Structure 1
């Protein structure tokens, strides 16, 4: 309740603060530091830094994998609202929404009912997939508010040689902002045509004593959420009253010397209407979904002499997901079915790297995860228990990597990791990446790697009561060839081609209702990109993903589009203080359990105004109100995805 009061108070106070006179208005003809940081380079760059593909910072052009990066500048210009919007903009990824969860498909595979377990999600390098479904939580329950993201790095392809379990199709690393971008007091409010209101407040400080920290609080509330299916006119009001969403988040960082402490919590409560039928005493009842998540992580980085670097981290996390479904029992009394998934776990990470030997950057690491609590239970709100399932798991991985400079134009990255788990067995995964840069402003990469994903507690709990065999870990091997070249200071292109072979994919058998390993699947694909910039500040990005995936019988899996097209164009209207951007997202036809779902193309546009300490963004999503459908669970009716909506966002910064 206190959080909700904070949200409502911020919603009332922030618009008044925005109207206050900005400091330094008499010097508006001179650009501020913030405005200088927002300046758009008029030349394309191949030297953007990334750290996900090799676990240390290096140029994306030299990285041992293809790496895509979305920065905070792009997030603001395109009006991105959440992690789903960011991932939609990246090559090879596509997102579906069932109103409760964002489902991400990668490189043509979006298995029905998969909770993003085949992508590994990191926050500042820390694993955040939870330990019940291995789910990557990307909706309002995600820890990081969109305004706190500095950049998102996506390294596609098998990543188990560095990261172990879940890095099946790639690794997504969300890197938060530092005090340099979160200094002082910052306030923001958002409202949109879908009855959603958001508020955020953050404060950051760097002390002369050498420490720095920031803290951010945010809250949101949405009422009268539109349904993804048709509703009878006489039930529309009852459905609207019972369709709502609200939640809060807190995230903070404290750094002193070699030590960094991060912690965050998120809470979400989602109301969903349920139709009981024409003969029920109450036709529409109120279902609820409640999600609570949290983490605390302590990190230590220290240079040991001139050539050695030590990294150590320990983190503790929890997830608690509850769902309630009211009903009237045979005695005509109200009761509730309930389900709960509860997980507590901690991770330890130790890495040592050295450049002691010429032309080699060696890294060795050890990771450990202890799932000290994993439970799934079903019952009634009066305490009656129908089913209870628990697990206790331990897993560890040991890896080594050598980034070897063969010559001025050639680099070879060799990696190997061995993982063992109490539940899931053992797996060994290699990686080899050769990079050639013999031509100026160009690079060629040849990459080979493998990855695995073990069955999670949810898949265990479905099979165990039926005495069905527990699926063995699924595996993937991928070969990829990538070429990137800058043709001029303002024009560059990239092209990557990959071939993947997957075996033993864990899938639900629709007749037996158990999880089992499926036959081999082969995937071929290409990801093509073009970037063009102009001296006046315009910027164009175009990406096309071509994906062909077949099982052993030649059948295309469900939720597998052949073509993805993603493009954005940004145009300054009054320098960097006023900028207009347009985004195109397109997906080809897919199928789901025998149903054909048409493809679509939608436009999003944002007008971003940044006078002095203010930032005002007006965005329109799905500008043409294109109707498109998804069936992420493979069950029920196809669900209508988001239609046209308009969003206004206002923020104000105060230096301290």
Structure 2
């Protein structure tokens, strides 16, 4: 009955603007013409992640998936989890506090996204305690500020060093051409989440440009993600909440670009005590504080030479507060603080001086000024304290060599030297053949590594277990991409990987150790179809099998992922209805068997006038009840049910 009411509500809201607009027969304005959807497939979309310079995705030395700002708006993607969930080969889950990402069947329980490298405008943002990619509500970038997200799967250490183990995700923000004037946005959903965002941008006649964006969110009365006693449901909701703020800014003049960002998130979760306790419940809290400041410089040196330099300072502060109650009802707090501060330096020089060559050389340096995990009663001497000290240096060179009109070869190698992981050398090779019009065949090989982090040291040290050696992966991949015409293209790729010394937690000894050799084989199939009426269809199927030397499948390793995205104009681009289907096969995490599921989402996007967007989205339409155990423990967390969301965006000024 509830499902029927929700669907009737959605149909009523969708039908009202559609009927009103159907009666309007005025000729299209210039703004409307600019909004018209291209009927050509996006074969030559630009990407810059696979080679660190802008080029056509069809000529890039890796398979690259791109989600644009248009995709984000049409499909009502609310956060980075929604964006990554829509990409081939990626699957995302959460426990109410953290968003976990798996890639190509490899999502290790308890891993904090350390095997994917995340960039914002080319700047690495994985923090230096857990190597975590923080993609939840604590992430720096609001989705409204994203121009596109690029995902290059496969080993990326030949260009990026540590953490680029399963791939690289680059979040590229908008410029003042899209953030000009004043923009405001407000969202509200049926799960009691409210969000607001405001940005202001300006490009001057003197050549400088800048924008500033602020956003905040709040969610109260969040339902328990697992079963609780009926009498405790209200008590749980009263103490289960989430709130936060973000600031992001950019300024550019000449060859200089300055960026700054900060985020604060405080998430509360209750711990219900047994009946004999003097209090019924205590309030646990998780507090995130993150910030960064970066400066970059680009300059053409003449004679086909160019220089790029960037320096950044970052801080990540994560505090977990766990109250405990004495028998006299006094409440004390136990704090677990992870504090990281680090600096990055990135220098690159590139040239096209030699015919048919694009040559690049670079140096990267990371200085971990602070690495600490301190735990103990608040205001007292800590029970345990762990400190790290690390410096990373990386030198790389890459040559993209155009042999002739049909053949291109990319060769690269990088050598990293770190105080913790020693030295690591990682090569890459890619051969791209484009002898057939509107098609390309890619043969790619690469390797990557990831060294143990302070969190893994903190787990092992009390038990006097040695620090694991760096884990390594080698991958060979063959990909075929072909546009049969302007409206239809497809792709197919197969890959085989060998993983050595994968860092995993031993369930019996509860320490991190290197595992035996692991093999991972898979295939990814995809197609894109566009029609003259403005309809768009994207479909992807990812298949994989990952097993150790004894043939045992890995935990949290679904064999199949299916993605379907469809968009249908109802009144040109003034009114558009979009659908998503996200499917995942069954998998196991330790003794827990998790069944497969399919989720359906839909978004109606209405643009009644220039500068106004109204969106109504329904997520998990069938209210599928599905669970996950992302931390690797037996406890299962129920994932998001049906949610109805309303969003209003308004732009003021030129």
TM-score class, shorter-chain normalisation, is over 0.9
User: What's 2:17 paired with?
Assistant: none
User: Residues of 2 paired with 1:222 and 1:38: CA distance?
Assistant: 34
User: What's 1:255 paired with?
Assistant: 252
Cα 1:37–1:560, aligned 2, differ >3 Å: closer, same or farther?
Answer: farther
- Answering whether residue 264 of structure 2 is matched by residue 267 of structure 1, we say yes
Larger mean Cα displacement after TM superposition, 275-284 or 615-624: 275-284
User: What's 2:619 paired with?
Assistant: 621
CA contact (8 A) 2:479 2:493 kept: yes
Q: Which of 28, 32, 40 is the aligned partner of 2:37?
A: 40
User: Residues of 2 paired with 1:301 and 1:611: CA distance?
Assistant: 41
Q: Deviations over 1:604-627 (max 9, x none)?
A: 000000122110000000000011
CA contact (8 A) 1:72 1:149 kept: yes
Unaligned runs of at least 5 residues, structure 2: 1-23
User: What's 1:648 paired with?
Assistant: 646
- Answering whether residue 200 of structure 2 is matched by residue 210 of structure 1, we say no
CA contact (8 A) 2:617 2:646 kept: yes
User: Residues of 1 paired with 2:613 and 2:116: CA distance?
Assistant: 33
Shift of 1:37: 4.7
CA contact (8 A) 1:295 1:315 kept: yes
User: What's 2:52 paired with?
Assistant: 55
User: Residues of 1 paired with 2:119 and 2:36: CA distance?
Assistant: 28
User: Residues of 2 paired with 1:124 and 1:293: CA distance?
Assistant: 17
- Answering whether residue 283 of structure 2 is matched by residue 286 of structure 1, we say yes
Alignment of 1:75-154 (within 5 A): 75-154=72-151
User: Residues of 2 paired with 1:119 and 1:520: CA distance?
Assistant: 20
Shift of 1:27: 13
Q: Which of 376, 395, 414 is the aligned partner of 1:398?
A: 395
CA contact (8 A) 2:110 2:630 kept: yes
User: Residues of 1 paired with 2:443 and 2:510: CA distance?
Assistant: 41
Cα 1:654–1:283, aligned 2, differ >3 Å: closer, same or farther?
Answer: same
User: Residues of 1 paired with 2:264 and 2:33: CA distance?
Assistant: 36
- Answering whether residue 511 of structure 2 is matched by residue 517 of structure 1, we say no
User: Residues of 2 paired with 1:330 and 1:620: CA distance?
Assistant: 47
User: Residues of 2 paired with 1:326 and 1:179: CA distance?
Assistant: 46
User: Residues of 2 paired with 1:277 and 1:330: CA distance?
Assistant: 13
Q: Deviations over 1:478-533 (max 9, x none)?
A: 00000000112111100000000001000111111111000111000000001110
Larger mean Cα displacement after TM superposition, 225-234 or 552-561: 225-234
TM-score, structure 2 length as denominator?
0.95
Q: Which of 608, 611, 622 is the aligned partner of 2:608?
A: 611
User: Residues of 2 paired with 1:69 and 1:40: CA distance?
Assistant: 17
Q: Deviations over 1:578-614 (max 9, x none)?
A: 0000000000000011221100001000000012211
- Answering whether residue 244 of structure 2 is matched by residue 244 of structure 1, we say no
User: Helix, strand or coil for the counterpart of 2:159?
Assistant: helix
User: Residues of 2 paired with 1:587 and 1:32: CA distance?
Assistant: 43
User: Helix, strand or coil for the counterpart of 1:573?
Assistant: strand
Alignment of 1:551-590 (within 5 A): 551-590=548-587
Alignment of 1:323-402 (within 5 A): 323-329=320-326, 332-402=329-399
User: Helix, strand or coil for the counterpart of 2:564?
Assistant: strand
Alignment of 1:176-575 (within 5 A): 176-329=173-326, 332-575=329-572
CA contact (8 A) 2:74 2:605 kept: yes
Larger mean Cα displacement after TM superposition, 47-56 or 226-235: 226-235
TM-score, structure 1 length as denominator?
0.95
User: Residues of 2 paired with 1:169 and 1:38: CA distance?
Assistant: 36
User: Residues of 1 paired with 2:95 and 2:33: CA distance?
Assistant: 41
User: Residues of 2 paired with 1:294 and 1:650: CA distance?
Assistant: 28
User: Helix, strand or coil for the counterpart of 1:75?
Assistant: helix
User: Residues of 2 paired with 1:540 and 1:301: CA distance?
Assistant: 38
User: Helix, strand or coil for the counterpart of 2:598?
Assistant: strand
Shift of 1:280: 1.2
CA contact (8 A) 2:529 2:538 kept: yes
User: Residues of 1 paired with 2:550 and 2:447: CA distance?
Assistant: 23
CA contact (8 A) 1:38 1:73 kept: no
CA contact (8 A) 1:150 1:175 kept: yes
CA contact (8 A) 1:463 1:514 kept: yes
CA contact (8 A) 2:505 2:511 kept: yes
User: Residues of 2 paired with 1:626 and 1:152: CA distance?
Assistant: 28
User: Residues of 1 paired with 2:33 and 2:126: CA distance?
Assistant: 36
Alignment of 1:19-38 (within 5 A): 29-33=27-31, 35-38=32-35
How many residues align? The count is: 630
User: Helix, strand or coil for the counterpart of 2:237?
Assistant: helix
CA-based RMSD of the aligned residues comes to 1.2
User: Residues of 2 paired with 1:469 and 1:390: CA distance?
Assistant: 16
User: Residues of 2 paired with 1:125 and 1:471: CA distance?
Assistant: 29
User: Residues of 2 paired with 1:159 and 1:378: CA distance?
Assistant: 35
CA contact (8 A) 1:152 1:175 kept: yes
User: Helix, strand or coil for the counterpart of 2:243?
Assistant: strand
Cα 1:396–1:28, aligned 2, differ >3 Å: closer, same or farther?
Answer: farther
User: Helix, strand or coil for the counterpart of 1:85?
Assistant: helix
User: Helix, strand or coil for the counterpart of 2:41?
Assistant: coil
User: Residues of 2 paired with 1:609 and 1:497: CA distance?
Assistant: 40
User: Residues of 2 paired with 1:158 and 1:252: CA distance?
Assistant: 31
